Amino acid sequence: YTRLRLILGDQLNENHSWFSETDDRTLYCLFETHSEATYCEHHIQKITGFFLAMRAFADRLRALGHAVYYRTLDETRTDGLETITDCVSQAMQHHGTEVFAYQLPDEWRLDQELKAFSEKVGGVSCDTEHFMSTRNDVADLFRDKQTYLMETFYREMRQRHRVLMDANGEPVTGQWNHDHANRGSLPKEIVFPEPTVFARDATEIVSMIRSHDIPTMGRMADERFTYPVTREECLKALHDFCDNRLQHFGTYQDAMTEADPLLYHANLSFAMNTKLLSPREVIDAAIAAWERDPEQISFNQVEGFVRQIIGWREYMRGVYWAQMPAFETVNSLQHDRALPSWYWTGDTKMNCLRHAINQSLDRAYAHHIQRLMVTGNFALIYGAHPDAVDAWYLGVYIDAIQWVEITNTRGMSQRADGGLIATKPYCSSANYINKMSDYCKNCHYSPTKRTGEKSCPFNSLYWDFLDRHRERFAGNYRMKFMYATWEKKGAEQQAEILERAAWVKAHVEEL
Ligand code: FAD
Ligand code: SF4
């Protein structure tokens, strides 16, 4: 072989132009490394999922006629190779290849490592051909702006890619955004569709991971792994979503319930973040399902879904490249607390957190509102250090890769970016959680009480958060109403609430 092409664990796109023809000069390489398995404490299902998907991808490339050099974690460890570039150096020597090529990574960390290595060996890089925008589109669109408005970017993407647009270049319904129809709470009697699962025995990979003393978090019942890891499985999962859940996706996208972990969400983030599915084919499938059956799938469902993907997902990636590496250390609210230990056990009397955390530990999945308005909201109003919050989110979810994790966590959820992404912090009292879920009715705490032993901790912490950050937020036009409500409570009631918040913060491990 004269040419070595590196494929990272999140670059499993068989439709990349690299694979359009086979030749006997090119060797494709995939490496399971200790450094990738330990750059944070990952969920056991996350490491397992990446290794399974990489192994399946190597098999797929071989079946397509390509030459593949795959090294398992056992093999790279036996050879004393810790990092991806260690592995590439060894492979180039071993096979006598002269040319090194790689697809541009989506993580800053690997981008730096591979850029430096490539300069040393005279390598070449190319695009992953995955996203519908470039690394720099967001930076270019919002040059010199204090706030990056997602809606502006989303409209630009709809126009540029002619998605849900009419022949005159206007949005098909005359309206860009149907979010007002997407805040439904769940009716009492509802049966959720059973999603297709792709169960496989992961005992061998799990014991390999354990044998290298790799610290992990979370659980995997019976070492049974249930996410799709091949392209065929991912396409089945996409069609399962379009056929059975898209019809209520938008309407109930902000709802939460004890009865079901997924509701009408897609659960496609792992498939998309590993590049097994492309964003274009995902939105095309959803739009085709709506076109086939507009009676069953109303427009707000499909528009809401498309916005998540060509809006939020692409936008977050652009924010990442516009702001890194500084984004990794921003902490504009100067929060400094450790996360309570029950984030790793789910052992708390707060029912919403117990559910969202246990679900995350059991499945390496929580849907957006659980991440934002339960676990993220608590960490924010409690005042957890964004480093701690980031480390937890980067570890716990199967879809967590830094470009999309840090922008959502540090930016959107913890507002550590000073308001670049969100015009107001995503903080709430029990009121919101009670409205959007059935968690409160089975809780040890009362959602309507602000003080006293049984009062919901979210309530006092919420007011304490607003009071602590009065100087920063009181002038925000979207928060005027909240501050007016706080003022109306009067000094005595305010003092009682702040006293309860102080107790909650001091006894957080007991909540
Ligand atoms: P659905 O609700 O069905 O949405 C469909 C798709 O839209 C998702 O698969 C995803 O690709 C995309 N999407 C939706 N919202 C967002 C968003 N805010 N940013 C980017 N893409 C979005 N997403 C990740 O992929 N990786 C992460 O590490 C991650 N960390 C998050 C941390 C926090 C604190 C929050 C609030 C959100 C995070 N998200 C992350 C975004 C979102 O919660 C997940 O993409 C979503 O829950 C994945 O489940 P789903 O496929 O069922 O999504
Ligand atoms: Fe969560 Fe408070 Fe509701 Fe309990 S009462 S479920 S802690 S919001």
Instruction: Give the residue-averaged pLDDT of 73-88.
Output: 97
Please state, in angstroms and rounded to a whole number, the distance separating the CA atoms of residues 199 and 71: 24
Closest residue by Cα to atom 2, ligand 2, is 456
Are residues 95 and 279 in contact, defined by beta-carbon separation less than 8 angstroms?
Answer: no
Residue 284 pLDDT greater than 80, yes or no: yes
Could you tell me the CATH superfamily of domain 341-510?
DNA Cyclobutane Dipyrimidine Photolyase, subunit A, domain 3 (1.10.579.10)
Instruction: List pocket residues of ligand 1, CB cut-off 6 Å.
Output: 265-269, 272-273, 308-309, 312-313, 316, 367-368, 371-372, 376, 393, 397, 399-400, 404-405, 408-409, 412-413
Q: Which CATH number fits domain 3-126: 3.40.50.10490, 3.40.50.620, 3.40.50.170, 3.40.50.2300?
A: 3.40.50.620
Distance 341 CA to ligand 1 centre (A): 24
Are residues 223 and 51 in contact, defined by beta-carbon separation less than 8 angstroms?
Answer: no
Residue 355 pLDDT greater than 80, yes or no: yes
Residue 181 pLDDT greater than 80, yes or no: no
Phi/psi of residue 3, nearest 5 degrees: -130, 130
Amino acid 302 reads V
Assign 184 a pLDDT band (cuts: 50, 70, 90): confident
Query: At 9, is the secondary structure helix, strand, or coil?
Result: coil
Q: What is the pTM of this model?
A: 0.97
Please state, in angstroms and rounded to a whole number, the distance separating the CA atoms of residues 296 and 292: 9
Nearest ligand to the C-alpha of residue 320? Answer: 1
Phi/psi of residue 285, nearest 5 degrees: -65, -40
- Which pairs count as long-range contacts for 18-27, CB under 8 Å and 24+ apart, including other chains? 18/103, 18/126, 19/61, 19/64, 19/66, 22/64, 22/65, 22/66, 24/67, 25/1, 26/1, 26/2, 26/66, 26/67, 27/1, 27/3, 27/67, 27/68, 27/69, 27/91, 27/95, 27/97
Digit-coded pLDDT (tens) for 406-451:
999 999 999 999 999 998 999 999 999 999 999 999 999 999 999 9
The per-residue pLDDT for 174 is 86
Residue 107 pLDDT greater than 80, yes or no: yes
The per-residue pLDDT for 442 is 95
Digit-coded pLDDT (tens) for 306-328:
999 999 999 999 999 999 999 99
| Pure H helices in 407-456 | 430-436
> Please, what CATH class does the domain formed by 137-193+245-323 belong to?
mainly alpha
Please state, in angstroms and rounded to a whole number, the distance separating the CA atoms of residues 215 and 207: 13
Please state, in angstroms and rounded to a whole number, the distance separating the CA atoms of residues 311 and 304: 10
Digit-coded pLDDT (tens) for 472-494:
999 999 999 999 999 999 999 99
Mean pLDDT, rounded, of the chain: 96
Distance 66 CA to ligand 2 centre (A): 54
Residue 144 pLDDT greater than 90, yes or no: no
Please state, in angstroms and rounded to a whole number, the distance separating the CA atoms of residues 497 and 306: 42
User: Which residues are registered as beta bridge partners of 217?
Assistant: 43
Nearest ligand to the C-alpha of residue 354? Answer: 2
Please state, in angstroms and rounded to a whole number, the distance separating the CA atoms of residues 93 and 95: 6
Which residue ranges make up each domain of the chain? 3-126, 137-193+245-323, 341-510
Amino acid 240 reads D
